[in-house]
């Protein structure tokens, strides 16, 4: 690839939050960006923001936990933008509850979106990376991978993604492909707003309580996470693989 040729990056869950910030950042770094989310129309604001900043982006509607939709989405990306060699598995949902109240549906939904979704997306994209002899996979884990009350499903999925990442690094390294994981702490998005609502706190109050426990004394912004993803997604990170970077304003236990 010449230095002027643009790479194609895929960001799942890119309609809002961390995914939207990541799509914008990867576009600013010179990638064409496919923004995948459940609803194609919901991807438009991210796509427009990329275009307004002078970049190239495509909105694609797909449920990452559905293999047929994933295959179709990646085919569309290849046809309209080119073969993807950067993949950010960011799509996510919460179905929090204490274990004794957690339904099988809530377990399956969370495992399906985070783990199965990342598996399906990576499987669909890796052949293009192998063909190119180059690839970057970044999986969104979480501080919850270390265990978090009310999140047995989410913690299991986010810890699972770390094992998935390390295995990808071992299997795909010889094709010029790296795989790394970014594990955010508390970041201000609709997801954390939803958690505040569940625990019966105002979002501002919830953020202040979280910030007081964080060494840098503030909560994270989507751009804080996008900055870390952008490093792993860059050509410069070619000797960094199978790593988990906690981006949480301090160390975690
Ligand atoms: P968010 O809820 O704001 O955005 C998630 C996006 O994923 C939404 O646009 C949603 O529609 C999309 N999505 C959900 N299910 C999907 C599916 N099946 N197929 C395609 N898209 C789907 O969340 P966020 O806070 O921006 O989180 C992004 C990622 O970062 C998630 O993986 C989340 O678990 C992780 N994370 C977030 C935080 C935080 O504090 N916000 C902390 C740690 C990890």
User: Cα of 91 to ligand 1 centre, how many Å?
Assistant: 5
Q: What is the pLDDT of residue 30?
A: 98
The answer to whether the pTM exceeds 0.95 is yes
Reply yes or no on whether 246 is catalytic: no
Residue 130: name the closest of 168, 88, 163 by CA.
168
> Who lines ligand 1 at CB under 6 A?
12-13, 15-19, 37-38, 63-65, 90-93, 113, 117, 140, 142, 184, 186-187, 189-192
What is the reported pLDDT for 4? 54
| pLDDT for the residue 87 | 99
Nearest-CA neighbor of 59 among 72, 71, 45?
45
The alpha carbon dihedral of 224, 45, 40, 195 has a sign of positive
pLDDT of residue 2: 46
Candidate list 107, 119, 154, 164, residue with the active-site label: 154
What does the domain layout of the chain look like in residue ranges? 3-185+222-245, 187-219
Fold of 3-185+222-245: Rossmann fold (3.40.50)
Instruction: Give the residues of the chain that fall short of pLDDT 50.
Output: 1-3
Q: Where are the beta strands (DSSP E) in 31-150?
A: 32-37, 57-61, 84-89, 135-140
Q: How far is the CA of 191 from the centre of ligand 1 (A)?
A: 7
Q: What is the pLDDT of residue 5?
A: 74
Q: Are 183 and 248 in contact (CB under 8 A)?
A: yes
Residues 6+ away with beta carbon under 8 Å from 36: 10, 11, 12, 13, 14, 43, 60, 61, 62, 64, 73, 91
């Amino acid at each position: 690839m010449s230095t002027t040729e643009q790479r194609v990056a895929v960001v799942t869950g890119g309609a809002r939050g961390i995914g939207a910030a990541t799509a914008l950042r990867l576009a600013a770094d010179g990638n064409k960006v496919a923004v995948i989310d459940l609803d194609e129309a919901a991807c438009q604001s991210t796509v427009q923001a990329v275009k307004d900043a002078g970049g190239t982006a495509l909105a694609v509607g797909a449920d990452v936990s559905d293999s047929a939709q994933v295959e179709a989405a990646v085919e569309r990306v290849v046809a309209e933008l080119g073969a993807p060699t950067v993949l950010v598995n960011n799509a996510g949902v919460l179905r929090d509850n204490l274990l004794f109240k957690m339904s099988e549906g809530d377990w399956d939904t969370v495992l399906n979106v985070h783990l199965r979704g990342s598996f399906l997306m990576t499987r669909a994209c890796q052949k293009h990376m192998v063909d190119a002899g180059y690839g970057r996979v970044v999986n969104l884990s979480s501080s919850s991978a270390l265990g978090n009350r009310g999140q047995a499903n989410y913690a299991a999925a986010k810890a699972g993604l770390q094992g998935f990442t390390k295995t990808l690094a071992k299997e795909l390294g010889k094709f010029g492909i790296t795989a790394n994981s970014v594990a955010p702490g508390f970041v201000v998005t609709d997801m954390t707003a939803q958690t505040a609502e569940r625990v019966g706190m105002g979002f501002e109050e919830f953020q202040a309580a979280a910030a007081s426990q964080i060494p840098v004394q503030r909560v994270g912004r989507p751009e804080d996470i996008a900055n870390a993803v952008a490093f792993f997604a860059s050509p410069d990170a070619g000797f960094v693989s199978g790593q988990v970077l906690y981006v949480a304003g301090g160390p975690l236990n």
